[in-house]
Amino acid sequence: MHEWVSLAVLAVCGTVWLTVRGQHPYRGPTAAVIPVLVAFIVLNFCATVAVRERAIAGVGGTTRFRPAEITVMVLAWAIVPVLIWALADAGVSFALHPTTVLIIPGLAWAGVTAVRANWRACSTGLAVAVVGVAGAFAGPAGAWLVAGVGLFAVLLGNAVAAAWRQRHSVARP
């Protein structure tokens, strides 16, 4: 599934980048693009939750997230608008870059999965945070390209790592 999501992220962020790269000054995605972007994020979130719930039906133990872990991730996403508002209020240049939203959730995911000693997922979280930081140096329009290419690389790398592990270790998940 990750490979398809990675392609979709690349397509969506790449499309947004194509629409904003000629803006001087930068005004952000057009009104026509924003609903598509929001719909993609919502659809992706719902599909991820639905697929995961279906996959782990009847499974008990560490596979399921503990309430504390869910709380950490929800708080990480909830804090993003507050952080962006605070950064924008302080006049930080990259406050409104699309990649800025990735930093805190990426770090939170890395923390949650590090506690579980799930190092592949932890690396993914750290890589997402790195993409978020890299976008700060790319300018507001370039950050869309960084988000698209960066998340594409992270998700595809994750899919490759999962496939490699499945091939080389039959008896170990």
Partner 1 sequence: MTTDELDPLIHVPTRLKIVATLAALPDGDTLSFTRLQNMIGLTPGNLIIHLRKLEDADYINSTKTSNGTVSITTVALTGHGRKALDTYTHALRDLLGGL
Interface residues with partner 1 (CB under 8 A) are 57-63, 170-173
The sign of the dihedral angle between the CA atoms of 64, 62, 48, 56 is: negative
- Is 2 or 21 the residue whose CB approaches partner 1 more closely? 2
CA distance 9 to 144: 10
**Least distance between partner 1 and beta carbon 173 (Å):** 5
- Is 77 or 119 the residue whose CB approaches partner 1 more closely? 119
**Least distance between partner 1 and beta carbon 12 (Å):** 32
- Is 44 or 118 the residue whose CB approaches partner 1 more closely? 118
- Is 32 or 57 the residue whose CB approaches partner 1 more closely? 57
Six-digit token string for 146: 């960084």
**Least distance between partner 1 and beta carbon 169 (Å):** 9
**Least distance between partner 1 and beta carbon 124 (Å):** 17
**Least distance between partner 1 and beta carbon 59 (Å):** 6
Contact present, 127 and 82 (Cβ < 8 Å): no
Angular region, 84: left φ>0, alpha ψ -120 to 50, beta rest = alpha
- Is 63 or 93 the residue whose CB approaches partner 1 more closely? 63
CA distance 127 to 132: 9
CA distance 127 to 18: 24
Residues near 173 by beta carbon (within 8 Å), at least 6 away in sequence: none
